[in-house]
C-alpha cells in the first residue's frame, strides 16, 4: 500500500506535467511549424532539383558544386564576406569609440539627446533609411555630391561605380547600427569596477594604454559577443542593398540573401536556392563557433 503523502505528491506531479506541456504547446507547435520543419525541409531540398510539375529529383551535391564553381556565385559569396568583415569591424570600432566618448559625467538631458541621436537609426527600418540614403548618394541630384562640389571636391559615384558601391553601403550600415553597439559597450564600461579604474589611473597615466591594458581586457567578453552578433546580422544583409543598388552595378554588391531570393523565387530554382541558404547557415554556424572557441581562449573573464 502506498503512503497517502506519496500519492498526493505523484498526483501533483502528474498535474504539473500536464500543465507544463499545455503551457509550452502553443509556442512549441508554432516553432516546430515555422522554424524546425522548414529548416529540415530546406536541408532536404538543397540536395534536389525541385520541379512542382514534373516531379523532383535527388541530385546529391550538384547544387553545392554549382555554387562553389560558378564565377558569379563565388563573387556573391565573396561580396557577402567582404561586406560582413568591414561592416562588423566598422560597427564594433565606431560603437566602442562612441561609448568611450559618452562614458563620462554629463547632464542627463545631454545624455538623453545623445542617445536619441545615435540610437534613432538603429530602430528605424533599414528599408526606410536606405531610401533616404539613396537620395543622399545620388550622382547628379544627390545631397552629398552637392556639398562636395560646393566645397570644391570632385563628385563621387557613390552607388554607380563597382569600386565604391559596396563601401557606400557599408558606410550607411555603420551609420545605422553603430549606435546599437555603443549602447552595449556603455553598459559594459559602466560594469568596470571603480576600484580597478582608480588603481589603474594611479599607475598608468596614459589614457589609451590604460584602455588597452585594463579596460579592453575587462570588457572583452562583451566585445566578442558584439562581434558574433554583428557577423550574424551582416551575413544576412538584404534590404539595404536591394534598395540602394539592387545588387549592382553588375554583381558588385549582390549578397547571398539577394541571390537566394532571386534564384528561388525569381527563376524558381528552388533546390539551388535552398542550397545557398544552407551554405549561409553553415557559414554563420562556423563563424559563431570559431569566435566562441577563440573567445574561450583569449577572453579574460
Partner 1 sequence: MKTKAAKRWIDRTIITMMAVLGVFMLLPFAWLFSMSFRPPAEAYKMPPSFLPPTLDFKNYRAVLGSSIPFLRIYWNSVEIAVLVTFGQLVTCTLAAFAFARLNFPGRDSIFFVMLVGLMFPAQVTIIPIYLGFAQVGLLNRPIGLVLMYLTSSFGVFLVRQFMRSQPKALEEAALMDGAGYWKIFYRISLPQLRPALSALGIITFTQTWNYYFQARVLLEPQQSMTLPIAMDLLRGYLASGNLSVVMAAMSMAVLPVILIFLLAQKLVIEGVTMSGIKS
Q: What is the distance between the alpha carbons of residues 13 and 23, in angstroms, rounded to a whole number? A: 15
Query: Is there binding between residue 216 and partner 1 (CB under 8 A)?
Result: no
Site for partner 1 in 220-239 (CB under 8 A): 225, 228-229, 232, 235-236, 238-239
Closer to partner 1 by CB, 165 or 271: give it.
271
Nearest to 97 by CA among 205, 213, 216, 199: 216
Closer to partner 1 by CB, 1 or 102: give it.
102
Query: Is there binding between residue 196 and partner 1 (CB under 8 A)?
Result: no
Query: Is there binding between residue 136 and partner 1 (CB under 8 A)?
Result: yes
Query: Is there binding between residue 66 and partner 1 (CB under 8 A)?
Result: no
Q: What is the distance between the alpha carbons of residues 25 and 38, in angstroms, rounded to a whole number? A: 18
For cell 534590404, the residue is 239
Query: Is there binding between residue 116 and partner 1 (CB under 8 A)?
Result: yes
- Fill in the DSSP letter of residue 107: -
Site for partner 1 in 267-286 (CB under 8 A): 270, 273-274, 277-278, 280-281, 284-285
User: What's the closest the beta carbon of residue 75 comes to partner 1, in angstroms?
Assistant: 18
Helix (H, G, I), strand (E, B) or coil at 49: strand
Q: Which string of x and - marks every residue 149-188 that binds partner 1 (by CB under 8 A)?
A: --------------------------x---xx--xx--x-
User: What's the closest the beta carbon of residue 85 comes to partner 1, in angstroms?
Assistant: 18
Contacts of 73 (CB under 8 A, 6+ apart): 66, 67, 259, 276
Q: What is the distance between the alpha carbons of residues 206 and 287, in angstroms, rounded to a whole number? A: 35
Q: Are 63 and 46 in contact (CB under 8 A)?
A: yes
Amino acid at each position: 500500500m502506498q503512503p497517502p503523502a506519496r500519492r498526493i505528491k505523484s498526483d501533483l506531479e502528474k498535474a504539473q506535467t500536464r500543465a507544463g506541456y499545455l503551457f509550452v504547446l502553443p509556442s512549441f507547435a508554432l516553432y516546430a511549424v515555422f522554424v524546425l520543419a522548414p529548416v529540415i525541409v530546406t536541408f532536404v531540398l538543397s540536395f534536389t532539383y525541385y520541379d512542382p510539375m514534373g516531379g523532383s529529383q535527388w541530385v546529391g551535391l550538384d547544387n553545392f558544386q554549382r555554387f562553389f564553381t560558378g564565377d558569379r556565385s563565388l563573387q556573391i559569396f565573396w561580396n557577402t564576406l567582404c561586406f560582413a568583415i568591414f561592416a562588423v569591424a566598422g560597427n564594433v570600432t565606431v560603437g566602442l569609440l562612441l561609448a568611450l566618448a559618452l562614458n563620462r559625467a554629463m547632464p542627463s538631458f545631454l545624455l538623453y539627446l545623445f542617445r536619441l541621436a545615435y540610437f534613432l537609426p538603429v530602430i528605424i527600418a533599414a528599408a526606410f533609411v536606405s531610401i533616404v540614403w539613396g537620395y543622399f548618394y545620388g550622382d547628379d541630384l544627390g545631397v552629398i555630391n552637392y556639398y562636395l562640389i560646393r566645397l570644391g571636391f570632385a563628385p563621387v559615384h557613390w552607388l554607380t561605380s563597382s569600386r565604391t558601391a559596396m563601401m557606400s553601403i557599408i558606410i550607411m550600415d555603420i551609420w545605422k547600427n553603430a549606435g546599437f553597439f555603443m549602447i552595449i559597450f556603455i553598459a559594459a564600461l559602466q560594469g568596470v569596477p571603480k576600484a580597478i579604474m582608480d588603481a589603474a589611473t594611479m599607475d598608468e597615466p596614459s589614457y589609451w594604454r590604460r584602455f588597452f591594458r585594463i579596460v579592453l581586457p575587462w570588457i572583452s567578453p562583451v566585445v566578442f559577443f558584439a562581434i558574433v552578433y554583428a557577423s550574424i546580422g551582416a551575413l544576412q544583409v538584404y534590404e539595404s542593398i536591394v534598395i540602394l543598388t539592387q545588387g549592382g552595378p553588375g554583381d558588385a554588391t549582390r549578397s547571398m540573401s539577394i541571390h537566394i531570393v532571386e534564384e528561388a523565387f525569381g527563376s524558381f530554382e528552388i533546390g539551388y536556392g535552398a542550397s545557398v541558404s544552407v551554405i549561409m547557415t553553415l557559414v554563420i554556424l562556423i563563424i559563431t563557433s570559431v569566435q566562441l572557441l577563440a573567445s574561450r581562449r583569449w577572453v579574460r573573464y
